[in-house]
Chains A and B, each alone.
Chain A
């Protein structure tokens, strides 16, 4: 244990995801010995995030205004909607430059073992968005793991009666990964490709 302020910093850092007690201590002492200007910039970045970044009222992506940059962009098409788990997934798909539609960020995936059900995600909000009939194709781009697949199955069943085209993104294999290193289960998923889901 260290004196007050240093220990408080270590405790706060230790609460961040992926930071264990040892790393927290290392980061804390790095900050203590860093240039004062560097620390000031970090503090300013944290303050700005806390004060100005919020969730887009339409898609729940991170935004610096009422609506995010993508929802405000008039060049994007309104008839294709891509459902993702987290804002970082929006960033990943945007990087591919393949998608010109809009997004809906669920805020996670259904995980009963963690007590997370459909009501804990922005599923009702998604249904409300689909109600006006502007969206004709729904691409479900949840993670290629168990929770992501289950969430996709749940959503496909839910929107089935609305008569939309529903598809699941081809995923499972890392881009540029070697096929020979992929295990049979992952490979099986990828071979199925971006498939239409019939609910």
Chain B
């Protein structure tokens, strides 16, 4: 954009993925928007206690934004909160840590700024809603999100057919570098042999078969989480900082209010 172009104002909604301090009172916010894709923008004066933005630009918040396009970073002109998922997940530590991993993954898997990714946006909203409403156990919501987010990024794991030659499965061997289950002919050395029940669990999470996923045992959930984390780390050049800190113990039982608000 040339320096003479007037600043363009645009409006979009998005989820605040992360914030970074800038100077004395400002923040750079990273937002995954519905239409524009990932946007980095400056929120001026947001750290002052009397800022008009208040807590609306904190991570986990679904916001309606008006932004000016800038040369490097855009500038937030107005923000209205649509739903503050942070308030819902923060009281439940397993949900909070799972949610943080959702936000970091979404940030890392959308490498390009301003490249629309409606599917990733919808996945993040869906995961935060499930964590906030406690509709499913937080660790399962996280693994379902990670599997689907990898698929959106072009790395859908093979869970039935062979990841290399496509031969129909199920296959007993699993290779992280190959991208999922592998047939005996293609199997690279060092392939793992996870429980077939674990592979079924991952398939349930990827396809959204929650009844089957929630019937799973702890041992398969742990093995499944390990495979998902290994696949994700394989694709990202640096590891996720929040993933090792995810608390995979059971969440507090959901309260009456959230039972009522669930459709």
Produce 1/0 per residue, A12-31, CB < 8 A to B. 00000010100000000000
**Are B49 and A183 neighbours in the complex by a CB distance under 8 Å?**
no
Q: How far is the CA of A81 from the CA of B70 in the complex (A)?
A: 48
A residues within 8 A CB of B56? 183, 185
Q: How far is the CA of A135 from the CA of B81 in the complex (A)?
A: 40
A residues within 8 A CB of B252? 157
Asked if B93 CB lies within 8 Å of chain A CBs, one says yes
Q: Which of A157, A181, A185 contacts B55 (CB 8 A)?
A: A185
Q: How far is the CA of A18 from the CA of B21 in the complex (A)?
A: 9
**Are A181 and B91 neighbours in the complex by a CB distance under 8 Å?**
no
Q: A112-B100, A112-B241, A113-B241 are in contact. Are A185 and B87 (CB under 8 A)?
A: yes
A contact residues, range: 20 to 34
Q: How far is the CA of A182 from the CA of B84 in the complex (A)?
A: 15
A residues within 8 A CB of B87? 185, 188-189
**Are B50 and A174 neighbours in the complex by a CB distance under 8 Å?**
yes
**Are B100 and A113 neighbours in the complex by a CB distance under 8 Å?**
yes
Q: How far is the CA of A188 from the CA of B61 in the complex (A)?
A: 15
Closest chain-A Cβ to B141's Cβ sits at a distance in Å of: 16
B contact residues, range: 20 to 34
Asked if A117 CB lies within 8 Å of chain B CBs, one says yes
Q: How far is the CA of A178 from the CA of B52 in the complex (A)?
A: 12
Asked if A161 CB lies within 8 Å of chain B CBs, one says no
Produce 1/0 per residue, A158-199, CB < 8 A to B. 000000000000001010011001111110110000000000
Closest to A174 in B: B49
Chain A interface residues toward B at CB < 8 A: 18, 20, 110, 112-115, 117, 145-146, 149-150, 153-154, 157, 172, 174, 177-178, 181-186, 188-189
